[in-house]
Amino acid sequence: MRNVKLTIQYDGTDYQGWQIQAGGPTIQGEITKIISMLDQRPVTVHGAGRTDSGVHAEGQVANCSLERDFPLTEFRDAINGNLPRDIRVNDAEFVEDRFHARIWAKQKTYRYQIYTGPVVSPFLYRYVHHVRAPLATDEMREAASRLLGCHDFSAFAGGGGDVSNFVRTLNRLDIDVEPDRILITASANGFLRYMVRTIVGTLIDVGRQRRSAESLSEVLDSRDRGQAGLTAPAAGLTLVRVDY
């Protein structure tokens, strides 16, 4: 048996997220199906994170154990030759047996794209959240700075799941402005369900001057999901990188 690490990209628009579940196709399900066919046995694929329905990835990481002896380039190409075109394995490498994509992950980085132009291109709409109102980005940056560090992020967590510890360390929350676009980049040792999208939704409220930058400290301390903003749409969110 050889343990293989996979680096994966996907457009999550037409999938029910990463994790295998009933009710529709998933990224994990598609990859598991193909690798099991190639290895001629049931294979378990472990992902670094469970991206939600409609969320994309540029650098998702997964691992699985193989019984057959594949040259890695041929293995990668064989997977891609059978996957839908909106999922691609960019790299495959052998790693030590105890490597686990989720357990070994030290930091994950997500990017959220807000489009601020008047019209969204049909080549872009699947990957951005369109906000037509002008946003006060200086105030958004001030608000973002109040979330950095180690905190209980209960106020920014979605319901469901079996999470009992809501403490995470947010190392980066940058807001960069480009023509017709605002990019929000978040890095942390882990993220709660809907955490990035709820942070973004709350920052948009600040940008629209519906709440003050200072109020983010109060929202954080409240640990009350009802105090934060709406959850921003999934389309704008991409898992950029997983660090080990």
Q: Is 107-243 the same fold as 2-95?
A: yes
pLDDT of residue 54: 97
CATH match for 2-95 among 3.30.70.580, 3.40.50.1010, 3.90.650.10, 3.40.50.2300: 3.30.70.580
Q: What is the largest CA-CA distance in the chain?
A: 59
pLDDT of residue 205: 98
The verdict on pTM exceeding 0.75 is yes
Whole-number Å distance between alpha carbons of 197 and 187: 13
> 80 to each of 28, 92, 145, how far by Cα in Å?
14, 11, 41
Whole-number Å distance between alpha carbons of 231 and 238: 15
pLDDT of residue 25: 97
Q: Could you tell me which residues come within 8 angstroms of residue 24 by beta carbon, excluding any fewer than 6 positions away?
A: 15, 16
DSSP three-state, residue 178:
strand
Residues of the chain short of pLDDT 70, as ranges, are 160-161
Catalytic center residues: 52
What residues does each domain of the chain span? Answer: 2-95, 107-243
DSSP three-state, residue 109:
strand
Backbone angles phi, psi at 242, to 5 degrees: -120, 125
pLDDT of residue 161: 64
Residue 215 burial (10 A CB sphere; 0-12, 13-18, 19+): middle
pLDDT of residue 133: 86
pLDDT of residue 234: 98
> What CATH number should be reported for the domain whose range is 107-243?
3.30.70.660
